[in-house]
Amino acid sequence: MEIEIRKIVTVCEETFIEGFKKAEKPVRIAAALAVIKNPYAGQFVEELQPLINTYSEKLGKLLPKKAMEALNISGEEVEAYGKGALVGLDGEIEHGSAIIHTLTFGNPFRSLCGDAETLLPSAEKRGSAGAGIDLAIKHKMDEKTRSHHMTFETRIPDAPRNDEIVVIAAVASSGRAHPRIGSLHKELEGVFPS
């Protein structure tokens, strides 16, 4: 099976004011989206390893790099991340999951983000061209750091076609603009924000 990418789209957002208050520093999030051919669209295939072998590692390296380039930051400067797959109508959600829920996708992604340690939060769904997908984003070193729990919506007007999958990597240079709900670590210790 050969890799077939129709297009790559990069989306970058910088938020300067949140909740009617200027942010101390802009909240910067970028996502890189690859529109790929789904060779299993319109049929049931038991063995998904050829799909994994073709796309997982390549996209696990390519997409985080593209997202970091959009923010003009290094992997060490990435503070939070997430991933997703949006499968066209003739595919199974399992096809997208097969690509992004592997160590061959996740390990290169974490490595590029300064040897990150947490599991990449994810979102997968099926949709038609132009469908949006909300990507879960969390801190790259500590999933209990609530200030970095965010959602980032992406969409491509002409993708996915019925026989395509949109594979997505997102990175953020900070957490939310004005975090005030405290750390889960403190809550687990019985210390609640006042």
- Asked whether residue 95 is domain-assigned, the answer is yes
Tell me if 154 is assigned to some domain.
yes
CB atoms within 10 A of CB 46: 4
Asked if the structure places residue 133 within a domain, the reply is yes
Q: What is the pLDDT of residue 114?
A: 96
For residues 123 and 186, the model is more confident at 123
Contacts of 92 by beta carbon, 8 Å cutoff, 6+ apart: 40, 44, 126
Q: What's the predicted TM-score (pTM) here?
A: 0.94
193 belongs to a structural domain: no
Number of domains, the chain? 1
Residue 145 maps to which CATH number? Answer: 3.30.1330.110
- Predicted pLDDT at 1: 86
Angle at 31 between CA 104 and CA 17, to 5 degrees: 145
Torsional sign, CA 37, 39, 44, 45: negative
13 in a structural domain: yes
Asked whether residue 194 is assigned to any structural domain, the reply reads no
Q: Is the pLDDT of residue 193 over 80?
A: no
Supply φ then ψ for residue 118, to 5 degrees.
Answer: -85, 160
Model pLDDT, residue 184: 73
Digit-coded pLDDT (tens) for 166-189: 999 999 999 999 998 877 766 677
Domain assignment present for residue 124? The answer is yes
Structure tokens at 73: 């930051």
Beta bridge partners of 9: 33
Range of the domain at 144: 5-188
Contact assessment for residue 87 and residue 95, using Cβ atoms and an 8 Å cutoff: yes
